[in-house]
Amino acid sequence: MGKFTEDDLKKELETKEYEYGFYTDIESDTFPVGLNEEIVRAISLKKEEPEWMTDWRLEAFRAWQQMEEPEWANVTYKKPDFQNISYYSAPNKKAKYDSLDEVDPELLETFNKLGISLDEQKKLAGVAVDIVMDSVSVATTFKSTLAKKGIIFCSISEAIKEHPELVKKYMGSVVPQKDNFYAALNSAVFSDGSFCYIPKGVRCPMELSTYFRINQAGTGQFERTLVIADEGSYVSYLEGCTAPMRDENQLHAAVVELIALDDAEIKYSTVQNWYPGGKDGKGGVFNFVTKRGICEKNAKISWTQVETGSAVTWKYPSCVLKGDNSIGEFYSIAVTNNYQQADTGTKMIHLGKNTRSTIISKGISAGKSQNSYRGLVKVSPRAENARNFSQCDSLLMGNNCGAHTFPYIEASNKTAKIEHEATTSKIGEDQIFYCNQRGIDTEKAIALIVNGFSKEVLNKLPMEFAVEAQKLLEISLEGSVG
């Protein structure tokens, strides 16, 4: 002990293998590769969707055909061949289970390896989990408890069938079908996802949570999440991702829409740990996600994300602060290692009066990775007294990685108050020396500093999720945390 230096940490980071890379052998019901109107129709048919949904998908698909893949992000990768992906894959044994005992033991084993024993979570944490494994919900727990309060928490395909009026009204209202290339693709082919509706004045008694995994080789994951918090309600939503080890790049293009009506509050937390690719930069998941929320009067949306995985990340959870006095928050930790590339950040669009937003972004780069923060703060001419505070800090480990900051600040109202600050640094020798001097060895000192660096964001995660987040963060930064 005590000899653990930053170099050792670096080495350890580089050699640390992806622990969660395993593959569950469940027979899947997979579509042939390729994408055309027939496939879109077939997905819709398979999901037994009503006609309006099929039309909606087709509209998106036609728009997508006209679009070009964006190239402005600060990432380089081989573009996926969209005709070489299977757009639907569902675990074969898709009977609904009443209890966990009935669930395929192999599947349970998968979750055990991930450290999210449903049993344990049910008992200890009281988390209702809607697990999306390769696109279809296989287990939903605590549904009845939620139903008593009038909360709807189900898969999106179920919602399309059972609550079409809600889906029709809100789907695409925040992220329109034609919003961007990947959102259009998702709108056309989304296979499943989660749907959540909190009725007026209801405070959701537990953290809602879903798990996404990419399991079948060569299948894209296109899930769609829609969270609606009606007037005066509150919900905290957790989303976690891990994917098994694969050599070819897998595509993940999700869309998340949040709607916070008057006085509502949504807290959306993500832990993303898709397979980041090997040490040599081979394989890994492409994570191209569109996340956006809209705040009505006095509403609040808070995004928290811990990004440790994916070979390429392209993700900007945003808030449209439409109503007066609405609040948007964004807390993010992005860790990149080896050949990972992350281009992530947020957009805060201030439209209403007295709107406030906070952005705290922490980037940690190691190995040969590139980590970018890209954010927009926009104050429209009518947004009186808008207030924004942004802080982006980067920590570099080693000499082969890069940290980039691209903040866009656009203010057109004289009462706007905007502050932006960014720093880049490495772990200071003086900081380590200070700790050493007080009897804290170097390993602990580094842990302490990295912990302190990301604490502002980690603290924002819900209690139940914190353990999980810690665990996933450890994959990238083991030996330094705790």
Partner 1 sequence: MSLKDKFISSFLAFEDYLDDDSPIHDLRNKAINNFELKGFPSKKEEAWKYTSLKSLLKADLSLFPKQENGVDFKEVKKYFLHDIDTYKIVFVDGVYSSFLSSTTHEGMDVCLLSAALSKDKYKSVVETYFNKIAKEESMTSLNTAFAKEGAYIFIPKHKEVEKPVEILNFYTGSEVSLMLQPRNLIVVGENAHIQIIERHQSLSENAVLTNSVTEIFAEQRAMVDYYKIQNDLPEASLIDNTYIKQERDSVCSIHTFSFGGKLTRNNLNFYQYGEHCNSILKGITILEGKQHVDHNTLVHHIAPNCESHQDYKGIYDENSIGVFNGKILVEKDAQKLNAFQQNNNILISDKATINSKPQLEIFADDVRCSHGCTIGQLDDEALFYLRSRGIGQKEAQALLMYAFANNVLESVKIPELKKRINKLIARKIGVSLGFDL
Site for partner 1, rule CB under 8 A: 72, 379, 381, 394, 396-426
CB of 58 to partner 1, least distance (A): 30
How far is 351 from 356, CA to CA, in rounded Å? 10
Q: What is the CA radius of gyration of the chain?
A: 22
- The residue (of 131 and 397) whose beta carbon lies closer to partner 1 is 397
Tell me which residue of 324, 271, 329, 318 sits closest to 291, measured CA to CA. 318
- The residue (of 162 and 429) whose beta carbon lies closer to partner 1 is 429
- The residue (of 218 and 479) whose beta carbon lies closer to partner 1 is 479
- The residue (of 161 and 420) whose beta carbon lies closer to partner 1 is 420
CB of 338 to partner 1, least distance (A): 16
CB of 105 to partner 1, least distance (A): 47
Q: Which residue has the tokens 């993303």?
A: 272
- The residue (of 30 and 424) whose beta carbon lies closer to partner 1 is 424
Q: In whole angstroms, what separates CA 324 from the centre of its chain?
A: 27
- The residue (of 218 and 281) whose beta carbon lies closer to partner 1 is 281
Quick one: three-class SS letters along the chain? Answer: CCCCCHHHHHHHHHHCCCCCCCCCCCCEEECCECCCHHHHHHHHHHCCCCHHHHHHHHHHHHHHHHCCCCCCCCCCCCCCCHHHCECCEEECCCCCCCCHHHCCHHHHHHHHHHCCCHHHHHHHHCCEEEEEECCEEEEECCHHHHHHCCCEEEEHHHHHHHCHHHHHHHCCCCCCCCCCHHHHHHHHHCCECEEEEECCCCECCCCEEEEEECCCCCECECEEEEEEECCCCEEEEEEEEECCCCCCCEEECCEEEEEECCCCEEEEEEEEECCCCCCCCCCCEEEEEEEEEEECCCCEEEEEEEECCCCEEEECCEEEECCCCCEEEEEEEEEECCCCEEEECCEEEECCCCCEEEEEEEEEECCCCEEEEEEEEEECCCCCCCEEEEEEEEEECCCCCEEEEEEEEEECCCCCEEEEEEEEECCCHHHHHHHHHCCCCHHHHHHHHHHHHHHHHHCCCCHHHHHHHHHHHHHHHCCCCC
CB of 403 to partner 1, least distance (A): 5
CB of 407 to partner 1, least distance (A): 6
CB of 281 to partner 1, least distance (A): 17
Q: In whole angstroms, what separates CA 158 from the centre of its chain?
A: 22
CB of 392 to partner 1, least distance (A): 9
CB of 415 to partner 1, least distance (A): 7
CB of 432 to partner 1, least distance (A): 14
How far is 39 from 34, CA to CA, in rounded Å? 8
- The residue (of 123 and 414) whose beta carbon lies closer to partner 1 is 414
- The residue (of 75 and 214) whose beta carbon lies closer to partner 1 is 75
CB of 322 to partner 1, least distance (A): 20
- The residue (of 131 and 392) whose beta carbon lies closer to partner 1 is 392
- The residue (of 283 and 328) whose beta carbon lies closer to partner 1 is 328
> Dihedrals φ, ψ of 282, to 5°?
-85, 135
- The residue (of 155 and 390) whose beta carbon lies closer to partner 1 is 390
CB of 182 to partner 1, least distance (A): 20
